[in-house]
Amino acid sequence: DGGITQSPKYLFRKEGQNVTLSCEQNLNHDAMYWYRQDPGQGLRLIYYSQIVNDFQKGDIAEGYSVSREKKESFPLTVTSAQKNPTAFYLCASSRTGEADTQYFGPGTRLTVL
């Protein structure tokens, strides 16, 4: 079955620790995205990548980092510089980075204690 996987579903970390969220897709999509979702707000774009070994900052990239070494994988690191990291993180992919539907993984809920 083709799809997008994110792991883990729930993640707890202590303040000051970096944490990496996994995102893998087997849809052969070129573009991948990371969003953050907070209660009462729309999805906000953190980073996106339209091709392997290339990525761009979204609206709220500060305190986050990504890599795109393989087409299938787009891990997100939440660093200690992110002031308010507790949120629901969603990874998505689309066939290209243009007017194509984005499909989402199940999400990771990160809680920083």
Partner 1 sequence: GQNIDQPTEMTATEGAIVQINCTYQTSGFNGLFWYQQHAGEAPTFLSYNVLDGLEEKGRFSSFLSRSKGYSYLLLKELQMKDSASYLCAALDSNYQLIWGAGTKLIIKP
Between 76 and 90, name the residue whose CB sits nearer to partner 1: 90
Please answer whether residues 48 and 92 qualify as being in contact, where contact means their C-beta atoms are separated by less than 8 angstroms. Answer: no
Between 80 and 107, name the residue whose CB sits nearer to partner 1: 107
Q: By CB under 8 A, tell whether 44 contacts partner 1.
A: yes
Number of C-beta neighbours around residue 80 at 10 A: 15
**How far out from the chain centre does Cα 78 lie?**
10
Contact segment (CB under 8 A) with partner 1 among 18-26, 66-74, 75-83, 104-112 equals 104-112
Please answer whether residues 111 and 8 qualify as being in contact, where contact means their C-beta atoms are separated by less than 8 angstroms. Answer: no
Residues of the shown chain interacting with partner 1 in the complex, contacts defined by CB under 8 A: 40-45, 58, 90, 97-99, 101-107, 109
